[in-house]
Amino acid sequence: MEPPRALSALAAQPPSSTAGKAARSARSCSSASVTAAKPGPEKSAGTVLLARGRNRTRKDFDSQEATGERKLLAKNPENARALQVISLIRQDKGDLVGAERVLRHILAKDPLDANALNSLGYMFADRGERLDEAVSLLERALKIEPGNPSYLDSLGWAYFQQGRFDLADEPLTTAAAQLLQPLQALDAALQSLIQ
């Protein structure tokens, strides 16, 4: 199969140039995908190259992300904060099982880690899953750090997700008031400067 002219032109570019990198990325695709993605009236060679480049970039990003996660774990295998960052990365990637596994690992080492309790409880509440367990986790977090506005907010959200609106109101209202206090103080300070 003859490569499209646009691909041939890219291939002639220096390997270190953006165009050269695009050509290498396009060449790395199998001939089957080249045939399947053959430009036609509805596709231009540029569109095909962009789609291939995006797929390649996503794979490169995932690989770099996994390498970073491994390095973080190698340097801090039992550091709860590092593990929570990894849990958040996994949540963002949609790996909820992996995120839960990391948070449960933290809690196995330290059952009184209020931040891990809150993170796991909120993860469940936010998705409307295992809401009874979410409430239990969040109540445990609040026993460790009573009045923490982030934990109150999470508990209120879990109650809300359960449809227990009467119970959701107090923690959500309290959390909102506490979280707004610094902003109100800043607003008052700024108003006094303006007057």
Residue % of the chain over a pLDDT of 70: 61
CATH topology of domain 132-195: 1.25.40
pLDDT score at 125: 97
CA distances (Å), origin 39, targets 25, 29, 45, 46, 126: 17, 15, 6, 9, 43
| E runs forming strands in 5-78 | none
Q: Which residue has the tokens 């993605």?
A: 37
User: Does the pTM exceed 0.75?
Assistant: no
- 51-105 pLDDT, tens digit each: 555 555 445 445 555 566 667 666 766 788 888 888 898 999 899 999 999 999 9
- 125-146 pLDDT, tens digit each: 999 999 999 999 999 999 999 9
Is pLDDT above 50 for 2?
A: no
Contact 113, 130 (CB under 8 A): no
**Domain map (residue ranges) of the chain:** 59-110, 132-195
Residue 25 CA to residue 33 CA, distance in Å, equals 12
